[in-house]
Each structure stands twice: as C-alpha cells, then as structure tokens.
Amino acid sequence: MSGKAPEIATFAAGCFWGVEHIFLKHYPIAQNKGIIKTSVGYTGGKDDAKNPDYRTVCTGATDHAEALRIEFDPKVVSYGDLVEFFYRTHDPTTVNRQGNDTGTQYRSAIFYHSSEQLEVAKRVTDEVQKKHFDPIGKKIATQVVAAGPWWDAEEYHQEYLHKNPTGYQCPTHRLNW
C-alpha cells in the first residue's frame, strides 16, 4: 500500500459499544486524529453464518466476534499506533471474556487486512507483551487472524454509547497505561 488511501483496521476487544466509544473518545473524527469512520459489527465466525444478527451472535452459535471496523488515514495515525491503543484499552490476557461479558463474541482479536498489517500486529503484540505483561506474569491471548467477511451490526448499535451515554460500559474499556 502506498499509504495515501485510507486503510481499514478491525479489532475485537469485548463489547463493541465500549471498543468504539473509547477509540472515538481518543481519536475523535472531528479533530482529525486519523480515524475517518467507524462501524461496529460481526466478523471471524463460521463460513455458513452469513449476515448474522445480534441475538444470534450472542448465542455463540456463529463464532463471530463483536468487532470494530475503523477506516483511518495512515498519514495521520499509523496502524501500529492503533494496535497499541487497542491493547491499552482492554484486557488481552483473557480468553473469550472481558469483565463480566463471556463467550466467543467477546474474544480479543486483531483481524489484519494485509501482510504489512500482520507484521505490525505481531511486532506490536511482542512489544506490549514484553513491556506490560511479562512484568506481571500474564500472557496476551489475543488472536491475530486474517480479516474475513464483515457484517455491520444493527443501526441501534452504531455509536451506541454516544447516543445512550448512560448505557452499559464494560469496566475493562479504559486506558490501562
């Protein structure tokens, strides 16, 4: 990629409301900090689980993750910076869980869109592991997998916590360092 066109980053870190909210809080679109557009949705599930809805994903039957899709300007914010921020804002050491939310839909995952993103994701994961988790004896459990089909979540989920400021927020969605 030349770095001129917008790129896509896709992350799963628990409840997609909280993931989107914290990214937009620290990278507000109006302030031109690199994020151009976000959407919450479903990805990483079974091949035959096409166009799933929230209720079905919550059963765990589809194996989809609740995820955030970010369109960003790599001239303003690097993919590596977004990956590092992703790690700062949730607990990547738990499998299929964030706080009280449990199930495959709440797993920690980076869905990469190019070989370059894969390399960056692996490098940043190693750096974060050494700096922040080795000292406390924990291991990052985040999956780093190729991005597959994406389905936008229902409209009421999009920017949910901006529309509903008193809505449920997973306590793990905060800056951890």
Bridge pairing between strands 108-112 and 101-102:
unpaired
Name the 3-class secondary structure at 82: helix
Instruction: Enumerate the β-bridge partners of residue 145.
Output: 111
Pairwise CA distance, residues 130 & 135, whole Å: 7
Eight-state DSSP code of residue 67: E
For this structure, is 15 an active site residue? yes
Pairwise CA distance, residues 29 & 167, whole Å: 21
The answer to whether residues 149 and 43 touch, using CB atoms and an 8 Å cutoff, is: yes
In 7-146, which residue ranges form alpha helices assigned H by DSSP?
A: 16-26, 54-58, 79-88, 115-128
In the chain, which residue ranges form alpha helices assigned H by DSSP?
A: 16-26, 54-58, 79-88, 115-128, 160-163
Q: Which of 9, 12, 13, 15 is catalytic?
A: 15
Where do we find the tokens 């194996």?
63
Catalytic residues: 15
